[in-house]
């Protein structure tokens, strides 16, 4: 069953199809491109039967990003026999989707929602091994809204200065319109990074929509990580060497002092990360996509609760499923 990756709002799809994620990584900072365009390019490289389009196909499997759900609803004609697979990202459910790909295991039910890890940072440059266990540069890489506000207060800067440490804020503001200037970002470059910090503001549900990407990026980079309490990180934890969980700048300061005092712990975390990273390589994640698109999705496309929606308009699907959910019959 042919798979079409649907990417809306792009004026020149042929140019995008010539991109290389590892060479042109700054082109993949938005969710739509990171999930849809990058997945298409990665799988095409493996020789899979995939295509990139700016509209829904009439049949086969269509993979789209949930952020573009409303734009798809505006497409006419919007009836299709294609199996619709929504990649949810950190958004809510797309009711037009027959199946969903989710980035956090807490969202998966292995019936309609399937967990596939986000791709690791494209074009990643790992830490220079010649730096040994030196701890000098501490980095946050991401959107500023995803960083606990305490790491932007004077007390944090004062602690770093007192310990001879540098804070590398490799960050920018997130823009919903996708107009993100990535020119000044170095999200792929960990060559001089000695420690990663990724701590969000507190959430009682432990951020069930967020992925574990920053953890396995750190593993690939050969850099220990201080991470906030999140379901995705905890799901991957196999030992205390995987990462150090901290909820506040105060806890982060204590962890940093420990790593400075225990270089053997630093080295052990780096070695452990190299082993753990293997399960989250591009090849490993591509194999999971190949399994999903080649076996799981086609089998589910024949299931009665899926086939009965085929051929309906997107608007009809959304309204019908919204009504069923209100009755507790759509989960």
Percent of the chain predicted with pLDDT > 90: 87
| 242 and 321 co-located in one domain | no
Between 177 and 298, the more confident residue is 298
Task: Write down the pLDDT at residue 80.
Answer: 87
218 and 310, same domain (yes or no):
no
Q: Are residues 242 and 138 in the same domain?
A: yes
Three-class secondary structure of residue 167 per DSSP = strand
Given a contact cutoff of 8 angstroms between Cβ atoms, the answer to whether 195 and 269 are in contact is no
Residue 177 lies in a domain: yes
Contacts of 286 (CB under 8 A, 6+ apart): 42, 43, 46
Mark whether 157 and 184 lie in a shared domain. yes
Q: Is residue 102 part of a domain?
A: yes
Residue 156 has pLDDT above 70, yes or no: yes
Backbone φ and ψ for 6, nearest 5 degrees, come out as -100, 120
Q: In angstroms, rounded to a whole number, what is the distance separating the alpha carbons of residues 120 and 281?
A: 7
Q: Which domain holds residue 155?
A: 129-280
Q: Is the dihedral of CA 139, 142, 144, 149 positive or negative?
A: negative
259 and 288 in a single domain? The answer is no
Instruction: Tell me, yes or no, whether 124 lies in a domain.
Output: no
**Same domain? 55 vs 36:** yes
Q: Render pLDDT for 252-291 as a digit per residue (tens, 0 to 9).
A: 999 999 999 999 999 999 999 999 999 999 999 999 999 9
Separation between Cα atoms, residue 315 and residue 70, nearest integer Å:
10
331 is a domain residue: no
What average pLDDT does the segment 13-40 reach?
Answer: 97
Co-location of 288 and 276 in the same domain = no
**77 pLDDT higher than 70:** no
Q: Would you say the C-alpha torsion 17, 21, 24, 29 has a positive or negative sign?
A: positive
* CA gap 327, 302 in Å, rounded: 25
C-alpha to C-alpha distances, 208 to 88, 201, 203, 214, 229, nearest whole angstrom: 12, 13, 9, 15, 11
pTM (2 d.p.): 0.95
The CA-based diameter of the chain, rounded to the nearest angstrom, is 65
The beta strand positions in the chain, using DSSP E, are 3-6, 50-53, 61-65, 83-87, 99-102, 113-115, 137-143, 166-172, 195-198, 225-227, 244-245
**49 and 166 both lie in a single domain:** no
Q: Does residue 145 sit within a domain?
A: yes
Same domain, 242 and 149: yes
Specify if 305 maps to a domain.
Answer: yes
Both 217 and 109 in a single domain? Answer: no
Tally of domains within the chain: 2
- Distance from C-alpha of 216 to C-alpha of 223, rounded to nearest angstrom: 10
302 in a domain, yes or no? yes
- Give the model's pLDDT for residue 312: 86
Instruction: Return mean pLDDT, the chain.
Output: 94
The CATH number covering residue 171 comes to 3.40.50.2000
Q: Is 222 left (phi over 0), alpha (psi -120 to 50) or beta?
A: left
Do 144 and 269 share a structural domain? yes
Residue 55 is assigned to a structural domain of this protein: yes
Taking only the tens place, the pLDDT of each residue in 160-187 is 999 999 999 999 987 776 667 788 899 9
Tokens representing 52 are 């990139």
Does residue 9 sit in the same domain as residue 90? yes
Peptide bond between residue 90 and the one before it cis (omega within 30 degrees of 0): no
């Amino acid at each position: 069953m042919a798979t079409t990756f649907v990417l809306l709002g792009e004026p020149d799809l042929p140019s995008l199809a010539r991109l290389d994620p590892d060479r042109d990584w700054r082109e993949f900072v938005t969710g739509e491109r990171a999930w849809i365009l990058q997945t298409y390019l990665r799988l095409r490289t493996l020789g899979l039967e995939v295509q990139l389009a700016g509209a829904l196909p009439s049949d086969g499997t269509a993979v789209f990003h949930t952020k573009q759900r409303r734009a798809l609803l505006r497409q006419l004609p919007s009836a299709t026999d294609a199996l619709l697979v929504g990649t949810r990202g950190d958004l809510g459910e797309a009711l037009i989707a027959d199946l969903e790909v989710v980035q956090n295991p807490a969202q998966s039910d292995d019936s309609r929602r399937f967990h596939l890890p986000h791709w690791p940072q494209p074009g990643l440059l790992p830490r220079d091994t010649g730096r040994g266990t030196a701890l000098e540069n501490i980095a946050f890489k991401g959107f500023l809204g995803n960083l606990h506000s305490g790491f932007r207060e004077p007390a944090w800067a004062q602690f770093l200065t007192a310990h001879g440490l540098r804070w590398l804020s490799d960050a920018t503001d997130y823009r919903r319109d996708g107009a993100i200037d990535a020119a000044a970002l170095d999200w792929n470059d960990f060559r001089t990074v000695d420690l990663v910090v990724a701590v969000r503001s507190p959430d009682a549900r432990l951020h069930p929509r967020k992925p574990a990407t920053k953890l396995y990026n750190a593993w690939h980079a050969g850099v220990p990580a201080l991470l906030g309490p999140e379901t995705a990180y905890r799901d991957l934890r196999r030992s205390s060497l995987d990462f150090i969980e901290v909820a506040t700048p105060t806890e982060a300061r204590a962890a940093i002092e420990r790593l400075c005092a225990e270089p053997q712990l630093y080295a052990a975390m780096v070695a452990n990360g190299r082993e753990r990273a293997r399960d989250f390589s591009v090849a490993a994640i591509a194999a999971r996509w190949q399994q999903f698109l080649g076996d799981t999705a086609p089998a589910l496309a024949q299931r009665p609760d899926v086939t009965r929606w085929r051929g309906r308009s997107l608007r009809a699907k959304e309204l019908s499923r919204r009504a069923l959910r209100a009755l507790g019959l759509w989960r």
